[in-house]
Amino acid sequence: MSNIIEVPIETARQSSRGGGFLAALVLLTLIGSGAGAGLAKYIVDQTEQEVRGRLRQQQSFSETLPFSASTRLQTLKPLVTNLASPGDAWIRLQASVLLEDDMDGEIAVMKKKVEGDFLSYLRTLTLSHLEGGVGLQHLKEDLTERARTRSAGQIHEVILESVVIQ
């Protein structure tokens, strides 16, 4: 018995075809992975540029704020009073003010003056003045103007937290 293995000719041809298929598969895998890596690099670069652009916009927005970084929010007491017309209509207003931080001792006094001024103003309003979104916007603007006047410009803005009319 001899140790020679005979391989039929058809089997040898099939193995050479399998080698070509394997080489093509490896080649396509390398091309696909290269294209994927290139696309990933492109997406990462675009994302970094977008993030940098948004950071620049945020920085420029914070530089254009109408008040300084030391401005703080002070909550006023809820104000409840009747309206001028109709006589049985009541309003409850909860508001806060944005004011400068350097007003240490006079904050309480200034808040009381502003609350008193708001209360006297609310008593002059009628129900028709407060109707709709435009009425609330005018109320906010009027209160902000009164607060600025009363505080000699130390209050930047009045923020209406709640307005209840009954």
Which DSSP string corresponds to 4-21? -----HHHHHHHHHHHHH
User: Which residue carries 């130390």 as its tokens?
Assistant: 154
* Average pLDDT estimate for 46-56: 90
At 9, list the tokens.
Answer: 């000719």
Tell me what pLDDT residue 153 has. 84
Give just the sign of the alpha carbon dihedral 83, 156, 64, 52. Answer: negative
Distance CA 62, CA 57 (A): 9
Distance CA 60, CA 165 (A): 40
Q: Which amino acid is at 111?
A: K
> Are residues 84 and 128 in contact, defined by beta-carbon separation less than 8 angstroms?
no
> Are residues 157 and 98 in contact, defined by beta-carbon separation less than 8 angstroms?
yes
| Backbone φ, ψ for residue 63 (5° rounding) | -75, -20
The string of pLDDT tens digits covering residues 125-151 is 999 999 999 999 999 999 999 999 988
153: left (phi over 0), alpha (psi -120 to 50) or beta: left
The string of pLDDT tens digits covering residues 97-116 is 998 776 666 788 889 999 99
Most confident of 10-14, 39-43, 61-65: 39-43
Residue 73's nearest CA partner among 93, 53, 100, 47 is 100
At 103, list the tokens.
Answer: 């007003």
Supply the DSSP symbol for 3: -
How do beta strands 155-165 and 79-82 pair? unpaired
Q: What pTM value is reported for the model?
A: 0.61
